[in-house]
Structure 1
Amino acid sequence: MVRALVGVCALALAAVAVSALPTAGRAAANTAANVDRLAHLGPEDLAEEWSGQFEGDMVLDEEQLDIVRNKRNGLIAQTRHWPNGIVYYYINEADFTPEQVQHVELGVRLLQTQSCLRFVRVESDAAAYIRVIGSDSGCYSSVGFTGRAQNLNLQPYPRTIVPKDPTATIGQRVGMSEKDISKLNWMYGCLLKG
């Protein structure tokens, strides 16, 4: 069976691109039980629930955890927005099949058409970018702009959700909600799109 991504990664990229919470966090080491579970995913298991990260998929540092604990909104911190609304990303193609790379690219295009963010794929290290990787440690990412390379891990595994509707994304929605799009566009100062 072709190892496929869980689905289109638009929401995962949106979480990295949109959030303005500061992050210097590193992925937490996963438990032996979770690593074993990831190696033997069943038909009802989701890799993003077994990464050992906050809420399953977010790499947070202490400052971010404090924000979450105190229910403060860090989205307005301009220093945590991607400069000029441009998000650089790199896909480690060695971790994915060509079909999986296409799914990542589809997610990027969907997010770009619904927002004023511009995604630029880089083939070599840039100063600050999202590094899309596919290690067997679940699905997770840092949150917000960090000013350096940051991992977005999308664990490939046999079970897949291939959308019948090209706007479908991971989660309970068929795409970004109007509220998500409005918030994203407001943050980056382009109120007319979405």
Structure 2
Amino acid sequence: MDSEVKEEIPLHEEFILCCGVETQVLKCGPWTDLINDQSATRPKLLIFIITGNPGFCAFYVPFIKALYSVTNKRFPIWAISHAGHAMLPKDKKILPTSEDPNAQEVKDVYGLCGQVEHKLAFLRTHVPKDMKLVLIGHSIGCYMSLQILKLAPELPIIRSILLFPTIERMSESRNGRIATPLLCWFR
């Protein structure tokens, strides 16, 4: 029965350019364009998921649908991939969007600080300024959520939920001492 209900839940996949990089966005619910929707039925709250690594949204589909069901389908739930972590399928096109002309170019959009700026640019461009936000970060997405709270106090974030956070001193852990030099070399 649950699987039948979950199949009826509307899930919309988009590929947009954000900070000049292909970005996958999954949107659960009937609200795919909150900026241009001025109707009275437009929700007042957006639940926004910042993924952990490997940074693509498909991993979160069951969670997104379950969260949408649990909130009685009252709020849109969006998840964003990390910049450069999701490839555009051959049968899809990048949606034309209006990037914020005042947005500054992100120097290293693929680095950790650049990924934070990528999420901020998306929120500032695609979410109405008066829409309340609940940020849900998973793993490294928790760190990004905390940085967003620090860097953008003007955003109307009412909650930040951290799921299995990677916040600090990751490189000092046993696995981090092994992985950090290797990852730095690959980069």
Shorter-chain TM-score tier? under 0.3
The structure that has the greater radius of gyration is 2
TM-score, length basis structure 2: 0.24
> Which has the larger share of strand?
2
- Structure with higher RCO (Cα < 8 A, 6+ apart): 1
